[in-house]
Amino acid sequence: MREGPDIARIASLVGDPARANMLNALMGGTALTASELALEAGVSLPTASSHLSKLTDGGLLTLASQGRHRYYGLAGAQVAGMIEAIIGVAEAVGPKRVRHGPRDAAMRVARVCYDHLAGEQAVAMLDRLFDRKLLLRDDSQIRLSPSGAAHFAALGIEIDARARRPVCRACLDWSVRRSHLAGALGAAILDKIIAEKWARREKDSRAVVFSPKGRQAFERVFLA
């Protein structure tokens, strides 16, 4: 009975259906208000409020008060990564192996993971960035190379390396089961994809759908 980190505490936070629905909704990356999350979870407002304070106390959510609205969001990419890992297991052991609808397929190709891109496209992108030496695998981190910094700057993506948030971070992809790029750079790239209208967010889903021209542009810039 040696004691490690309190994984039961964290897991039990995710282990309630109402809270799991809230976290799932927040995987889209946008912060939501308490009432939106209550609707999403299918519980009353008081119940939702209670759950939300547990999640924030537990360190899984952050809270940003703006006037009378209170926006809840995931506490970081690591939390998002954990939830993706749980989703992966749930998919694998779930009773419904054979339910790959069209929306499911789109999710596997490209989706939002908190604030960055995930799915086959994202994994392929990270691979190419390594191949082109724009990113370097350091001892225990991913780093932006000088040529990489120049490359992204030319695209209008400039990252302040001194900010608190790490520039590059690996995040395990539940569908592909390999890492994709998170961190400030990962978020900036997703921002650009949306801003350039290369792709749009599917309504009420984490799926990201590229337009034909958008896909070409994305491949030219990131998969070349």
Partner DNA sequence: TCGATGCTTCGACCGTGATCGAAACATTGC
Partner DNA sequence: GCAATGTTTCGATCACGGTCGAAGCATCGA
Of 33 and 205, the one with the shorter C-beta distance to DNA is 33
- Closest of 118, 99, 115 to residue 177, by C-alpha: 118
- Closest of 130, 108, 87, 79 to residue 209, by C-alpha: 108
Of 17 and 94, the one with the shorter C-beta distance to DNA is 17
- Residue 145 as a binder of DNA (CB under 7 A): the answer is no
Query: Cβ–Cβ contacts within 10 Å for residue 97, how many?
Result: 9
Q: Report the partner that residue 98 touches, choosing among DNA, a copy of itself, none (CB closer than 5 to 8 A by kind).
A: none
Give the Cα separation of 174 and 28 in Å (integer).
Answer: 15
Stretch that binds a copy of itself, among 65-73, 89-97, 152-160, 210-218 (CB under 8 A): 89-97
- DSSP structural state of residue 207: B
- Closest of 110, 128, 132, 127 to residue 119, by C-alpha: 110
For a copy of itself, which residue of 16, 196, 202, 219 counts as binding (CB under 8 A)? 16
Binding mask 124-143 for a copy of itself (x = CB under 8 A): x--x--x------x-xxxx-
- Residue 30 as a binder of a copy of itself (CB under 8 A): the answer is no
Q: Give, for 71, the enclosing helix (H) or strand (E).
A: strand 69-74
Binding site for DNA (CB under 7 A): 12, 16-18, 33-36, 43-54, 65, 67-70
